[in-house]
Amino acid sequence: MKPARPPVWLFPAIAGVIILSPFAYSAGRFAWLSMFPPKPFLQASSSSPSQRCVRDPGWMRQNHRVFLYELRDKTVRDGIRSEVTLSSCSQCHKDKTQFCDKCHNAANLHPDCFACHFYSTTNRPIVLLQGGP
């Protein structure tokens, strides 16, 4: 006896559930976050109130990538060195794992800044390949 064929609605029903499930996830996430807003998990700045970020912190949170790229272009391409460097960030935000990595990891982003740059907390540029002391 031939096995019974699955009902014709089964395939579209499974496909429909798979296609619609991300909507359910996003709507559920939206409702959850509306009820329980997330607490900021960025490490608080250790600077004194007189010290401020070089730009508005809200703007920096979204656009620090552009800001750093502009700094890089000015330095590398135009030869204009700024006093602001990655080390400046680390003066207030000491812990890279909390300040940079936590967000990047959450968003699955892997910027290659630190393949070359060292996140110094001493405000002294680390000079590599200097040829000895």
Partner 1 sequence: MAAIRREAILHYGVPRWLANCVNQPRFLPLLLLLPCLLLWLAAWVRGPLERYFGASYTPNHIVISYWSQLPQWLLIVLFAPFVLLDAVVLALGVMRFWRGLKACDREAGRTGGGQSLIASIRSVSRSIILHEDFDRCTAERPRMNSHRLVLFGFLGLLVVDLWVLTARFNPLLRDAFVYPFNFWNPWKVLANLAGGAILIGCARMVRDRMPRTGRTGTLFTGTSFDWTFLGLAVAAVLSGFGCELLHYARVDPLRYVMYVIHLATVFALLVLLPYSKFAHMIYRATAMVYAAHSGRQPLGGLHETG
When the beta carbons of 11 and 118 are compared against partner 1, the nearer one is 11
In the complex, what is the shortest distance from the CB of residue 9 to partner 1, in angstroms, rounded to a whole number?
6
Tokens standing for residue 27:
């709507």
Inter-residue contact 43 to 100 (CB < 8 Å):
no
Which DSSP string corresponds to 81-124? --S--HHHHHHH---HIIIIIHHHHHTT----HHHH----SSSS
When the beta carbons of 30 and 118 are compared against partner 1, the nearer one is 30
The residues of the shown chain that bind partner 1, judged by CB under 8 A, are 8-9, 11-12, 15, 18-19, 21-22, 25-27, 30, 62-63, 65-66, 107-110, 112
Chain-centroid distance of CA 20 in Å reads: 28
- Distance, in Å, from the CA atom of 52 to the CA atom of 35, rounded to the nearest integer, reads 32
When the beta carbons of 62 and 130 are compared against partner 1, the nearer one is 62
In the complex, what is the shortest distance from the CB of residue 116 to partner 1, in angstroms, rounded to a whole number?
14
When the beta carbons of 106 and 127 are compared against partner 1, the nearer one is 106
